[in-house]
Amino acid sequence: MSFVKALWLGRMPYLKGLAIQEKLFDVLNNNKNNAAFKNHYLCLFEHDPVYTVGLRDRLYSAEEEQRLLNLGADFVRIKRGGMITFHGPGQLVAYPLFDLKQLRLRQPQGRVLGVRVFVESIEEIIIRLCSDVYDIPKVGRTNDTGVWVDSQRKIAAIGIQVRHGITSHGLALNCNTDLAWFDHITPCGIEGKEVTSLSKERKEDISIEEALSPFCEQVETVFDCDVHLVDASIGDLDRVIEN
């Protein structure tokens, strides 16, 4: 059984979270040939308000960038595909840093995970969390990326990158996010659809902290792994990684 160290890193700027992700990617990549190294990592964040967009998206000019900055959010162009999205308070951002050659699904053939199956598994985690834990009806997939409620309201965005067989980036689940931030953009370039959250669907406040443990439990179920949730928001991160 694979071991996943889930690191709750608290609230921080987007670029700081990205740097932590890259550090953990290097740890995994440098230990690919180390048979004694069995760790996978799951970085869990809440970000300061930020709009992120892929480097190739030319729809957002300097003027558009300034318009969004004037709202009080950061604006970051990053090396990823896809169009603009928002991260901010009340949104659980999860970056799974998994070595696909070591991670296996609960299935008889025990096949090595490919990117497509991995993304479907991430979707399944969110679907199970929303449906089984929070009893939200009609949660599932559509032809558009992410996880949707009633095929019209996006509750989680998903974007995975794989380098050297190691995953990075991941998902953003709206818990009690201020959804007004999305009114200023067309999230992921998808017209005519809404954005929702656990709190909006349940008509009660559901915080990131409340969702953390059940989220990790669904990761354990879907990936048939042992997840150990660690509060890494205080103290020495290097020590947490090593232990």
Specify whether the CB–CB gap between 84 and 53 falls below 8 A: yes
**83 is annotated as contributing to ligand binding:** yes
Task: Dump pLDDT digits (tens) for 181-200.
Answer: 999 998 776 778 999 999 99
**98 is annotated as contributing to ligand binding:** no
Give the type of residue at 60.
Y
Quick one: pLDDT at residue 108? 45
The residue that leads in pLDDT, 142 or 33, is: 142
Domains and CATH numbers, the chain: 2-242 (3.30.930.10)
Its pTM stands at 0.92
Quick one: pLDDT at residue 230? 93
Name the H helices within 80-137. 115-128
**172 is annotated as contributing to ligand binding:** yes
Quick one: pLDDT at residue 62? 86
For tokens 């929303």, name the residue.
130
Q: Which residues are catalytic?
A: 188
